[in-house]
Amino acid sequence: MNARVEAPRPLAARRGGPLRGTVRVPGDKSMSHRALMFGAVSVGETRIGGLLEGEDVLATARALSLLGADIRRDGPGQWRVTGRGVGGLVEPADVLDLGNAGTGVRLLMGLVAGHPFTSMFTGDASLRNRPMGRVIDPLTRMGAKVTARSGGRLPLALTGSNDPVPITYRLPVPSAQVKSALLLAGLSAPGTTTVLETEPTRDHTERMLRAFGAEVSIGRRDGVTTIRLTGQPELRAADLVIPGDPSSAAFPLVAGALVPGSRVTIENVGINPLRSGLLTTLRDMGADITIAGEREQGGEPVADITIAYGGLRGVDVPAERAPSMIDEYPILAIAAACAEGVTVMRGLAELRVKESDRLAALAAGLAACGAEAIVDGDTLTVIGRGRPPAGGGTVTTHYDHRIAMPFLVLGLVAERPVTVDDARAIATSFPDFVPLMGSLGAMIG
């Protein structure tokens, strides 16, 4: 039975002993989506190691298969994609159901926008309520036609253009998904597609496009980053190894900082500077972090990260840091609730349009666990007392993996166990979260 129609699955975490050990987290979700997509529009066979096998990425793989790519699994994390070349995808015979994958649906909309056929997109209840207008608008300017529900929501039909038009587009909000959708659409357009961003966002698409042979130039002047893609390239198949996802690594890292006596090492984690805002913030809070073995893997910087228990202090996190850690604010809020003093996190409007309204969900969850948090516009303020909150509450997750996992981490240090009302969504990005944390000594179950 599909997990999305099963009954909710509550899960609880409670305080135990120190967390100790060395682990590897699953492959980066953002890169896993992109590796499958670029392989699908390349010439030849792309081999991918370390692919995240969470529900979101598997939904992207199924959709690409319907679009004509030959995608096969050779073993755990080992996949092969035989591509059809740029512009070579075929009209799908069925609806493209992306489940809970916001990255998957937005990037795939860009990928098919330069193909002259119609694709139907849908997803689960959560994804059907997430806004797609920010992608629809620029893709329409490039020649695609989109019919969607009110508010630009799924389900929607997208008919790609036979003659896509390259455009210059300034991102109205920092969004790597919108930027990537435009660049993917630009693959099929003649000439140069240009994206302007005033706040740098994660650059996995640009890095990976270059690895597959595309011509991508990046410059920054007067506070504006300009990304230019030369259209209609012949992408060449590549062999990729996906590094560990820093967003997944965030959970054992913060747990290691909060649980007394802990020392945790996470190997082979991506440390892309546009994804490392959490590490910067934890260091500002006084966390004992060591980074070793820095190297490059698949065009991305990776390293081994060790964190040891130590008291944290409240900090002011500037709004300009948000794009580099937007998915990590929920777990940062847990760290803040245990820190000494006030932590202020600014520029979090994007959290309201994720799998849930994460600002509201965080404030409600912290209140249920005896912590004090205030939401004011796009600012979240957490009042730390220098000790873990009481816990004992049940947190409503809204089928959001990045609400479920942080509050389970809180349960490892709170005075009383913390329960999340539904842990099923964890499988979308981190299927082995519970056993991995258990291998370090965490009491979750």
- Residue from 160, 146, 190, 186 nearest 91 by CA: 160
DSSP symbol at 292: E
Token code pair at residue 149: 């529900």
The amino acid at residue 344 is V
Considering the candidates 97, 327, 400, 422, report the single residue annotated as catalytic. 327
Token code pair at residue 160: 């790609």
Helices (DSSP H) in 223-368: which residue ranges? Answer: 246-258, 277-284, 329-338, 358-368
Q: Which residues contact 376 (CB under 8 A, 6 or more apart)?
A: none
Distance between CA 104 and CA 230 in Å, rounded?
Answer: 23
- Residue from 128, 3, 63 nearest 425 by CA: 3
Distance between CA 5 and CA 2 in Å, rounded?
Answer: 6
Phi, psi for 439 (deg, rounded to 5): -65, -20
- Residue from 296, 347, 338, 345 nearest 313 by CA: 338
- Residue from 198, 144, 192 nearest 170 by CA: 198
Helices (DSSP H) in 237-352: which residue ranges? Answer: 246-258, 277-284, 329-338
Distance between CA 80 and CA 51 in Å, rounded?
Answer: 10
Query: Catalytic: 316?
Result: no
Distance between CA 12 and CA 19 in Å, rounded?
Answer: 17
The amino acid at residue 6 is E
Token code pair at residue 99: 């489940």
Distance between CA 180 and CA 39 in Å, rounded?
Answer: 15
* Catalytically active residues, by annotation: 327
